[in-house]
A and B are shown apart, each in its own frame.
Chain A
Amino acid sequence: MRKSLTWLMVLGLVGTAQAGGLPTYQIDVSDGVFTPARLEVPAGQRFKIIVRNVGQGPIEFESTPLRVEKVLSPGAQSFVVVHPLKPGRYPFFDEFRMDLPEGEIIAR
Chain B
Amino acid sequence: MGQALFIVWRESIEALLVVGILYAWLQRQPDNRLALRHLWAGVALGLTAAAALGAVMLLAGDWLNGSAGEWFQAGMTLCAALLILHMLAWMARHGRSLRGELEDQAGAALREGRYLGLMLLAALAIAREGSETVIFLYGIGARGDPSDLILGALSGLGLGLLCFHLLQRGSRVLGWQLFFRVSEVLLLLLGSAMLMAAMDRASGQLMALELSDYAYGLLGDALWDSSALLDDGSRAGMLIASLTGYRAMPSAFAVTGMALYWSLAWWLLRRPRRGLALAQAHA
Chain A contributes a number of interface residues (CB within 8 A of B) equal to 50
Taken together as a complex, chains A and B put the C-alpha atoms of A70 and B61 apart, in Å, by 10
Q: Which chain A residues lie closer than 8 Å to B75 at the CB level? A: 4-5, 8
Contact present for B232 and A64 (CB under 8 Å) = yes
Chain B contributes a number of interface residues (CB within 8 A of A) equal to 57
**Given A5-B72, A71-B132, A83-B220; A64-B66 close (CB under 8 Å):** no
Q: What 0/1 readout, one digit per residue, does chain A (58-99) give for beta carbons within 8 Å of chain B?
A: 101011110111111110111111111010011101011111
Contact present for B143 and A57 (CB under 8 Å) = yes
Instruction: Write the chain B residue with the least CB distance to A77.
Output: B62
Instruction: Write the chain A residue with the least CB distance to B143.
Output: A57
**Given A8-B71, A65-B248, A86-B222; A18-B209 close (CB under 8 Å):** yes
Interface centre among B58, B62, B204 (most CB of A within 10 A): B204
Taken together as a complex, chains A and B put the C-alpha atoms of A46 and B222 apart, in Å, by 14
Main SS class of interface, B: helix
Q: What 0/1 readout, one digit per residue, does chain B (60-97) give for beta carbons within 8 Å of chain A?
A: 01101111111110110000000000000000000000
29 contacts between A and B (CB under 8 A): A5-B75, A9-B72, A12-B71, A15-B67, A15-B68, A15-B208, A16-B67, A48-B208, A56-B143, A58-B58, A58-B135, A58-B139, A58-B142, A60-B135, A60-B136, A64-B238, A67-B204, A71-B61, A73-B57, A73-B58, A76-B61, A76-B62, A83-B219, A84-B220, A91-B234, A93-B235, A97-B3, A98-B235, A99-B3
